[in-house]
Amino acid sequence: MKLRSGDTVMVISGKDAGTESKIAKVFPKDNRIIVEGVATAKRHQKPTGELNTGGIIDKDMPINASNVMIMCPECGPTKIGARIDDDGEKYRVCRKCGGDL
């Protein structure tokens, strides 16, 4: 999986299509990601301890990684390519403009 936590992505399919947000968590084994503010579900939370209050909370649910595209600062939504430096380091690059992501 080429996506990482903290990347800015655009949702390209589903009920939240067109939404831009950051990746909160990545599950590479399942090919799923949690995007902030996307695919929210109502969760009935019990109060636990003294600080947590109970009630109905909004929880971000995981979506498939194929439903998002990474956002390039110059081009917009794009695919991810790879470039290997002379030192042997691997970098993620934009497939449209060739800039670093």
Residue 86 domain-assigned (yes or no): no
Q: What is the DSSP track for 15-73?
A: TTTT-EEEEEEEETTTTEEEETTSSEEEEEE---TTT---EEEEEEPPEEGGGEEEEET
The confidence score (pLDDT) of residue 40 equals: 94
In angstroms, the CA 15 to CA 27 distance is 21
Residue 28: give its domain's CATH number.
Answer: 2.30.30.30
Residue 83 DSSP SS3: strand
Residue 87 domain-assigned (yes or no): no
pLDDT digits (tens, 9 = 90+) for 19-59: 999 999 999 999 999 999 999 999 998 888 777 788 998 99
Residue 30 domain-assigned (yes or no): yes
Residue 33 domain-assigned (yes or no): yes
Mean pLDDT of 57-84: 93
Per DSSP, 13 falls in state: S
The confidence score (pLDDT) of residue 83 equals: 92
The confidence score (pLDDT) of residue 77 equals: 93
Predicted TM-score (pTM) of the model is 0.82
The confidence score (pLDDT) of residue 101 equals: 83
Backbone angles phi and psi of 65, in degrees to 5: -65, -20
Total domains in the chain come to: 1
pLDDT digits (tens, 9 = 90+) for 4-19: 999 999 999 999 999 9
Query: Distance between terminal CA atoms of the chain?
Result: 15
Asked if 21 and 37 count as a contact pair (C-beta separation under 8 A), the reply is: yes
